[in-house]
Amino acid sequence: KPQAGHASSRPRPGHGTPVSIHVTVKGAKHLPKMDMNGKADPYVVVKVGGKEKKTATQKRTLDPTFNETFDFDQVKASEESVVFTVFDWDKFGADDVIGQVEVPLEELLRHKQLEHDHPMRRDGAFVHNKGGERA
């Protein structure tokens, strides 16, 4: 399960008031094998509105730990979601999408600080590993 982290706001927003948020990408567990070596080289792109931030790539792991925090300013909570897309870095060719999690920003901001574990989706379905657990 991706450990998508937390978001916190300052100050408490009105419905359409722009806010600043902090999003921490903690890590992921049980990612599917993406490379010939039976591992993956995952990184996460966090998108809020039209702004994107990217974690460092973790080499040769299916259980990456990122613990990276990103700030997003002037975000309208009523209009946005936080989208976490996990990619597998490839030396040659385009990087592969492992999965994605989308969390409505209003849901996160209701709690000032909140941690979430979310199952990822890929091509409209949940990503499962061989053990049947959600990735």
Whether the CB-CB separation of 67 and 84 falls below 8 Å is answered with no
The torsion angle over the Cα atoms of residues 95, 67, 40 and 116, rounded to 10 degrees, is: -90
Reading the chain (135 residues) residue by residue, the pLDDT tens digits are 444 444 444 444 455 678 888 888 999 999 999 999 999 999 999 999 889 999 999 999 999 999 999 999 988 877 788 899 999 999 989 999 999 988 888 877 776 666 767 677 765 444 443 333 333
Contacts of 124 by beta carbon, 8 Å cutoff, 6+ apart: none
pTM of the model: 0.78
DSSP 15: T
